[in-house]
Amino acid sequence: MRFCLFCAALLCALPCFAAPSCDVRVPTETLPVGEVRLAYQSIGRPDDPAVLLLMVLALLILGTFMDMAPLIIISTPIFLPVARAYGVDPVHFGVIAVVNCMIGLITPPYGILLFVVNGTTGIPIKDIVREG
């Protein structure tokens, strides 16, 4: 019993230790303004749906291997400025990110939510996957 409580406490505490190390900041005074403007112009127009599609695919692929909390903490500082630059509302981006992370959590090979449903209901994983 003590071992199970220790493992549960350790697993719950890991994202708390990972969060401070995921701070991605770029000092704005070192950014060359002309090069950044040129990069935005060469990528495409501000309402380009391909950029949002690439972010969705990246979140889906990363969601199959990572838990949701660290993935949101790591990917939001990277993807949110790009989404804002392309005219995506931050609330819309947040909803897209959370939904894609949840889809990633039920997708194998990691599929942690499949094991959670298996443990709470007792239904075998093959039956859970077959019903979905």
Q: Which amino acid would we find at residue 16?
A: C
Residues near 79 by beta carbon (within 8 Å), at least 6 away in sequence: 55, 58, 59, 93, 97
> Running DSSP on this structure, what letter comes out for residue 28?
G
Q: Hey, what are 14's tokens?
A: 């890991």
Confidence of residue 21 (pLDDT cuts 50, 70, 90): very low
Q: How far is CA 116 from CA 14, 83, 119, in A?
A: 18, 32, 5
Residue 116's pLDDT is 85
Residue 30's pLDDT is 52
Contact 79, 100 (CB under 8 A): no
More confidently predicted of 63 and 13: 63
Sequence-separated contacts (24+) of 32-41 with Cβ below 8 Å: 40/85
Against a cut of 0.75, is the pTM above it? Answer: no
Count the Cβ atoms, other than its own, within 10 Å of residue 59.
22
pLDDT per residue as tens digits for the range 30-47 = 555 555 555 555 454 446
> Running DSSP on this structure, what letter comes out for residue 29?
G
Residue 26's pLDDT is 47
More confidently predicted of 96 and 8: 96
- Of 52, 61, 93, 62, the closest CA to residue 76 belongs to 93
